[in-house]
Amino acid sequence: MDQFYTALSLYRRRKYEECVAECTELLEKNPYDQAIWTLKMKALTEQVYVDDIEAEEEGIAEALMDTDTIAQVARPGTSLRTPGTAQGGSNQGLRPRTQTGRPLSGVVRPATQSGRPGTMEQALRTPRTARTARPVTSQSARSVRLGTASMLTESGGPFIQLSRLNMGKYAAQGIIAKPLFEYIFYHENDVRHALELAVQATQACQFKDWWWKVQLGKCYFTLGLVRDAEQQFRSALKQQQVVEIFLRLARVYIRVDQPLSALDVCKTGLQYFPGEVTLTTEIARLFEGLNNIPTSIKYYRDVLKEDATHVEAIACIGLQHFYTDQPEISLRFYRRLLQMGIYNAELFNNLGLCCFYAQQYDMTITCFEQALNLATDEAVADVWYNIAHVAIGVGDCNLGMQCLRLSLSADSNHAPAYNNLGVLEMRLGHAEEARAFFQAAGSLAPYLFEPHYNYAKLAEKMGDLQTSYIVIQKSLQAYPSHVDSKELLEKLQKHFAFI
Amino acid sequence: MSLFKARDLWCAQCGDNETFDQASIFTANLGSRYDKIIVGSHSGYLRVFEPSVELLEDGTINGNKPTDLVIEMHLPQPVLQISAGKLVSGSQNEHLSVLHPRSVAVYSLVTKAGAAEHGDQSRLVLAYEHQLRRSAFCMVLGPFGGVNGRDFLCVQSLDGTLSFFEQETFSFIRFLPGFLLPGPLVFLPHTDSFLTVTSNWHAETYRYQVLAEAGGTSDEESASGRKVTTEWSYNIGEAALDVVAVTWANSYCDILVLGERNLFCLKDNGTLKFMKRLEYKPCCFHPYFIEPDGRLMVLIVSETNTLLVYEHTKLLWSAQLFVAPVAVTRATFEVINSSQQKLSMKGVLVLLSDQGELQCSYLGTEPSLFMAPPLEIHAIDYEQAGKELSELQKVIKTYTKRSTASLTSTAAEQEVKVSVSVNSQLEPCPFPHSIDEEGVEIPMCRVSVELVPHSPLSKVQVSVIVQPPLTVSQVSHTISSLCERSSIIAYVYMEQSCDIPTLDVRVITSYMASTGGFPRVLHNVAQLPLKLVALFTAPAKEADFKVTLNTNQPVVSLSQLFPEFVGEGVLSGTSNAAGFQYYGGRGSTVTVLAAKSSQRYRLQCDTLPSLCLLTSQLVQRLNRHFSRHEGFTCSYSSSLPLHELFSEIGTHFFFREKARKIQEELGQRTTQFRVIQRRLLAKFKDKTPTPLTNLDMLLKEAYQQILASTDEMEEIQQALLRSRCQLGCVTRLILLMMRLMNTVSEEDYSDLQAALPSTVYDAEEQGWEEVTDAALSHLLRTSLAKGSKTSQHLAQIALEPMKDITRFKKHISAVLDRISKGSNKAERKDNVGELLKPVKSVSPIPEAGEGGHDEEPVVPVGSQYGERAVSANPRGRSAALLKAHRAAQMPVTNDGLTSHPEAGVVTLKTDQGQKEPSDPQVALIEGPSDVSPSADDDIW
């Protein structure tokens, strides 16, 4: 059999390593065969390919070197940074916030974990997790970690010496330039060279190939030149409508914090590709980020109509039902996820909680046992925290406290656990301990209003009105429409006015 | 991710160690009612299956029977592709065409009906074979050129030529333009054209007519001719895995392209019908129309072996497969049901894996239930568990009550025995150091630590710690598992030229206990030899600082006290004066004198910090020498060198302030640097190049400034280190003196030792001053409080960066004064303090020039050296004056103290509201944590 055919067949069957070996052997015999060279390049690229639309996270380097000025005080409901301002948004008291102030989502995605820091100093000082002391690093570093190209380097030096590549020559050859670009972008992760190639190639084809424009946009976006990226994507969209371009353009608008433009782009995309799952998901995520949960759920339902096995949609709808006091329905969604083969601590934890609130007590303990069995270090704190809820729910304060302490031993920065521990201590009459716990929770998670409110309440009760007054303002800052906080503030203000 | 799994209907294994690819399978009925599956492997085996399924009465399915394999044939060449069509002239029957790397052969399947029960006899008969000049990649069959009732053959070779065969005859050969890697090729009968996905990632079509007319000759050798032009091309932007053209009722034709990331559906005029972005990696697909209403269905198999059934873009079904297929197709089979009726079963899935597993299945509703593995559950003895629980509860309760848990290390000592030995023989030091004195070779000392474990230990870490300016060659040693006796060697030497506070070397051993896995720490302390840091020199007669020690025993000769120096220089057996010089001590000599007639010793030196080490050494050695004599005392009765302490504190504080300032400056400069960087970046990012307006120079300048600041910082750090050593020395000396004064109770002394640490550490926010001040003020308020004020409640002491050290100094003098007077007594025991009257006006820090004519009040009688009576140097100030000052400062200090409780009032009034029931409205946070299906949810 022809060896080149074998290599092609191996590539088609996704046996990339063997394909690379076969190509290397062929290239030794005939080093100038472009076809084999290209095939090897493609095989190497496919080995490390990741969908870079999903794997995107903004690190401190981007934040620091970002010269795009974005409105600091956006109008209500037009920014992902002030999600609480949207009208008809869900109540913060009903659905907790993540560290960035956005409402809790059903799944953990890149970019749901980190907020965009304002300055370098702030980024460096942001509260770290117990796991790592490193702030989120830049995008390029992340994609290197995802695609482990560095581990796959050849024994005899790298496959292609980028610095010695004659970009102009290859850019003119459309048939090689495209795989070469992907190789440089995904395998070598050398955006600068990739950009150079893309610029020359798009010139070589007289700006007629939308593909090159998208690649240019990708490079610009990675380099943080979002406006240039936007231009390229727009220009590409004029030539041909492709789902990927709509997605990437939406990402550009998310980066510059224009969620409404991003929504617009996605909706235009949906007109061309009705029911496209990725676009609908993007819209649902955007609405979720804008704290417009009902609309978000509507789009997630659309996703499920198109693709009934969509995990993210199931999880998000399940979560919404849980927080709108329908644990039985939520339970059905989570059970579906379990049936589909998801097997992790988070799911069992959620199942356990749903069972508990749906009064199916027999399953609760089993679910939590499974969750604890599966939980990694990061999740175990949350699992214990939720078990504490069950314990409090059945009235076993002692067990609740011990669970909370276990949660804290797993993650010493677990602010909600501190808060609840504080509440329990308060019930036992240990005001000093309670105060300490509330203070700890408040300093760890200023975005939570509960510790502030609790502390203010405690201080007010103990007669420390000044502290109470200061703290209740913090609570209102975190959650401006919290009625109890408002009442307390009013009471204090009246009291001070009276004096 | 799927809810259901595909149900097995029939399966077979094709050979061992044979490989199959996407084109290795073909289903065709070849003239009969039911479909045959033809499978050809890369090893050259050609197999024809005709599966029939028998449904038994009990509902089970009788799968593969041996008779289902119609033919198995070994061809000499690998089989790349199989297809079927009307390929033999004059025959309307379908014939099999088999593509080999260098040839394409056409076979006819001949079936002889069997008379007996064991069935028919079939064989393949070769009709004709074309040899190929180029290695083949794939072939396409079809009625090219619109012929009726005949199929022609087109073979695409690996280098991009298309060879056309009109049944038995070769017609022509064409090159595809812009070819690099062969892509899938299909024939579109409606437009009579070929579609391929080129290396340019375009889907391109070529009309058969154009191809046929482009060439000049019809010779198989030459492929010259005009460049063929495309009819249309569509840019799909990615490589295609497979292309299939599906025809609906001869009216129209859809072209489905399975790309690596998307699925495209094109119309035959080159416009996009729909596309779908796939959130997984596809392996293979099979599109088809459902007969009655022409719904386009697409089967896609993902990399995770999930079969997904789409109608257009809508997912209708997903099922988990048990094999990883390389090809998927559909076929119609014969089914014999339980009542022996023969039915045809349409649309059975046929899957072929890489390894040759051939599987026919259907989509059943049997859930692919994932069973979570049960946890280890041991039966619980409730009574015992309850007992254990209550016991544990008790432990927890006591533990939480007792805030300070005292961990005994006695158990630790049983587990491992650590012995530290210091080699008294010094060696020349090969390590780099910063002591640059000519002709002096710095010695180093070997410290060996021997660990004898009694049980195997893991993660043992041994740290050898000395105080600067001494250093250890390797500070920490790690032994991952300690099973037998092992020893660690470290070398101690002087690294910097500073005063040495102590010769202690501390060895800290930490490990995880073998049982329970909790950490344990062991401390060991050893003394380094004096010779490591000091040289013997001639004694100096004059010195600014003097310390006199009184003993109650006859004077011992110095050669007995310092035996290691005997024989060196002038320390003879009877000498009662000796000089010591430190390495890097900048020439100052510490002189030790033993009085001839009285029971006194005197140490003198030009700098006070240098005295510290030798004084403590002398005291130690004296104690050791007289260890057999009961009641040996060594005392010091003179005043404390408080002024020197203050000046050292001042220097240290000054340097700290300076370091802080430079740090701030450095922060500002780096911020400035980053700002300039950003501006530059903005300039470079600009589309239209603008002049840099000297920003580059500014950047360079800012960089230089940063460098200058860091250099300065380094210098300050050095100075700070030196000052830290000196401060440590003086503090230590003062503590030693306090002890020797014999007026201080043990308890007070240990308090003082804890409050006035002789080890000086500087952290960024808190330095030695802040910590010490806090500790001293605490002492002043508690054990040293005046009168009955001890009962007043304790205020919180805020550890804020100190602005001014005046108050701190007051605190020190107050503490030392009160301690020397005895903590709880107001009466004065200090004779010296009584003798001297406060003569000077109150000045917090005695300035230079005050001590111009003071006499040293305590002089060892009979000393052979003259006293230095008058000194203009403030360092040489007599200690007596300081006493006077201290006495004068007393009221001021006390005033300062009374203000403290006020400062501490901010503590909350904690007595109220404790017993009140908690508010029911206190909010709890609750919530399930995120479900995180491992961020890449596009796999599902």
Give a yes or no: residue B386 inside a domain: no
CB contact under 8 A, A383 and B926: no
Tokens of B412: 């630790």
pLDDT greater at residue B571 or residue A191:
A191
CB contact under 8 A, B924 and A432: no
pLDDT greater at residue B769 or residue A114:
B769
pLDDT digit string, tens, across residues B38-88: 999 999 999 998 888 888 777 777 777 777 888 888 998 999 999 998 888
Q: Least CB-CB distance to B928: which of A65, A273, A349? A: A349
Interface test with B, best of A242, A288, A321 (most B CBs within 10 A): A242
DSSP A163: G
| Final residue of a structural domain among B819, B835, B851 | B835
Interface test with B, best of A6, A10, A12, A486 (most B CBs within 10 A): A12
Q: Whole-angstrom Cα distance, residue B211 to residue B213? A: 6
Q: Least CB-CB distance to B181: which of A38, A95, A431? A: A38
Query: What's the average model confidence in pLDDT over B835-844?
Result: 35
Assess whether B52 and B75 both reside in one domain. Answer: yes
Interface test with B, best of A266, A342, A368, A419 (most B CBs within 10 A): A342
pLDDT of B195 reads 92
Query: What's the average model confidence in pLDDT over B439-445?
Result: 76
Give a yes or no: residue B846 inside a domain: no
Chain A residues within an 8 Å CB radius of B182:
8
Q: Least CB-CB distance to B927: which of A12, A96, A427? A: A96
CB contact under 8 A, B1 and A342: yes
pLDDT at position B220 over 60: no
Q: What percent of the residues of chain B are helix, what percent strand, and what percent coil, each to the nearest 5?
A: 25, 35, 40
Q: Is A432's Cβ below 8 Å from some Cβ in B?
A: yes
Assess whether B199 and B331 both reside in one domain. Answer: yes
- Residue A211's pLDDT band, with cuts at 50, 70 and 90, is very high
Give a yes or no: residue B81 inside a domain: yes
Strands (DSSP E) found in B159-211 = 161-166, 169-175, 185-188, 193-197, 202-207
Q: Least CB-CB distance to A2: which of B135, B315, B681? A: B135
Between 2.60.120.10, 1.25.40.10, 3.90.180.10, 2.60.40.3680, what CATH number should domain A417-498 receive? 1.25.40.10
CB contact under 8 A, B925 and A370: no
DSSP B875: G
pLDDT at position B310 over 90: yes
Distance from CA of A164 to the nearest CA of B (A): 23
Instruction: Check residue B701 and give left, alpha or beta (phi > 0: left; psi -120 to 50: alpha).
Output: alpha
- Residue B867's pLDDT band, with cuts at 50, 70 and 90, is very low
pLDDT digit string, tens, across residues B625-667: 887 777 777 777 777 778 888 888 888 888 888 888 999 999 9
pLDDT of B83 reads 92
Give a yes or no: residue B369 inside a domain: no
pLDDT digit string, tens, across residues B354-401: 988 998 988 877 776 667 677 766 777 888 988 998 898 888 877 766
Give a yes or no: residue B273 inside a domain: yes
- Residue B352's pLDDT band, with cuts at 50, 70 and 90, is very high
pLDDT of B614 reads 81
Number of domains within chain B: 5
Q: Whole-angstrom Cα distance, residue A215 to residue A198? A: 7
Assess whether B407 and B340 both reside in one domain. Answer: no
Chain A residues within an 8 Å CB radius of B42:
1, 6, 9
Q: Whole-angstrom Cα distance, residue A492 to residue A456? A: 10
Count interface pairs A-B at CB distance under 8 A.
269
Query: What's the average model confidence in pLDDT over A136-141?
Result: 42
Q: Looking at the domain that runs over A325-412, which CATH code has it been given?
A: 1.25.40.10
pLDDT of B99 reads 93
Assess whether B515 and B541 both reside in one domain. Answer: no
Q: Is A176's Cβ below 8 Å from some Cβ in B?
A: yes
Cα B773 from chain centre = 38
pLDDT exceeding 70 applies to what percent of chain B? 78
Cβ-based neighbours of B222, under 8 Å, separated by 6 or more: B216
CB contact under 8 A, B181 and A398: no
Ranges of each domain in chain A: 1-49, 325-412, 417-498
pLDDT at position B929 over 50: no
Cβ-based neighbours of B659, under 8 Å, separated by 6 or more: B713, B716, B717, B720
In a 10 Å sphere around its CB, with 0-12 CB exposed, 13-18 middle and 19+ buried, how is residue A378 labelled? middle
Q: Least CB-CB distance to B909: which of A64, A93, A462? A: A462
Cβ-based neighbours of B910, under 8 Å, separated by 6 or more: A431, A432, A462
pLDDT digit string, tens, across residues B411-428: 455 677 888 888 877 787
Q: Least CB-CB distance to B275: which of A273, A307, A398? A: A273
Assess whether B407 and B523 both reside in one domain. Answer: yes
Do you find a cis peptide bond into B469, omega within 30 degrees of 0?
yes
Assess whether B587 and B715 both reside in one domain. Answer: no
Q: Is A288's Cβ below 8 Å from some Cβ in B?
A: no
Chain B residues within an 8 Å CB radius of A51:
261, 936, 938
Cβ-based neighbours of A197, under 8 Å, separated by 6 or more: A167, A170, A171, A177, A180, A181, A184
Task: Supply φ then ψ for residue B505, to 5 degrees.
Answer: -120, 125
pLDDT greater at residue B542 or residue B275:
B275
Chain B residues within an 8 Å CB radius of A96:
925-927
Residue with tokens 């390389």: B326
Q: Least CB-CB distance to B913: which of A2, A336, A461? A: A461
pLDDT of B817 reads 80
b/e burial code for range B639-651 (CB count within 10 A of at least 16 → b): bbbbbbbbbbbeb
| Final residue of a structural domain among B818, B835, B852 | B835
CB contact under 8 A, A67 and B678: yes
Q: Per DSSP, what are the bridge partners of residue A488? A: none
Cβ-based neighbours of B614, under 8 Å, separated by 6 or more: B534, B580, B590, B592, B603, B605
Q: What is the CATH number of the domain that holds B548?
A: 3.30.310
What is the span of the domain harbouring residue B756? 675-835
A130-137 own/partner pairs: CB under 8 Å, 24+ apart: A130/A411, A130/A412, A130/A413, A131/A377, A131/A378, A135/A59, A135/A60, A136/A57, A136/A58, A136/A59, A136/A60, A137/A59, A137/A60, A137/A61
CB contact under 8 A, A107 and B931: yes
Longest pairwise C-alpha distance within chain B: 142
pLDDT at position B20 over 70: yes
Assess whether B869 and B831 both reside in one domain. Answer: no
Most confident segment among A246-250, A255-259, B455-459: A246-250
Give a yes or no: residue B393 inside a domain: no
Distance from CA of B398 to the nearest CA of A (A): 14
Chain A residues within an 8 Å CB radius of B314:
275, 305-307
Assess whether B796 and B869 both reside in one domain. Answer: no
pLDDT of B516 reads 54
Q: Least CB-CB distance to B180: which of A50, A176, A311? A: A176
pLDDT at position B535 over 50: yes
Assess whether B607 and B740 both reside in one domain. Answer: no
pLDDT of A137 reads 45
Residue with tokens 């002089």: B859
Assess whether B136 and B266 both reside in one domain. Answer: yes
Assess whether B518 and B452 both reside in one domain. Answer: yes
CB contact under 8 A, B375 and A2: no
Query: What's the average model confidence in pLDDT over B888-913?
Result: 34
pLDDT of B413 reads 54
- Residue A100's pLDDT band, with cuts at 50, 70 and 90, is low
Cα B833 from chain centre = 61
Sheet holding B519-527, edge to edge: B476-482, B457-465, B504-512, B519-527
pLDDT of B573 reads 58
Q: In the predicted model, what is the mean pLDDT of chain B?
A: 76
Q: Which amino acid is at B513?
A: A
Give a yes or no: residue B518 inside a domain: yes
Query: What's the average model confidence in pLDDT over A484-494?
Result: 91
Chain A residues within an 8 Å CB radius of B78:
1
| Final residue of a structural domain among B635, B658, B685 | B635
pLDDT exceeding 90 applies to what percent of chain A? 32
List, as ranges, residues 134-173 from A with C-beta within 8 Å of B: none
Chain B residues within an 8 Å CB radius of A484:
921, 923
Distance from CA of A462 to the nearest CA of B (A): 5
CB contact under 8 A, A96 and B198: no
CB contact under 8 A, B2 and A341: yes
CB contact under 8 A, B932 and A349: no
Give a yes or no: residue B714 inside a domain: yes
Assess whether B577 and B689 both reside in one domain. Answer: no
Please check whether residue B557 is in contact with residue B573, taking contact to mean a CB–CB distance below 8 angstroms.
Answer: yes
CB contact under 8 A, A225 and B925: no
Q: Least CB-CB distance to A175: which of B199, B279, B908? A: B199
pLDDT of B482 reads 78
- Residue A487's pLDDT band, with cuts at 50, 70 and 90, is very high
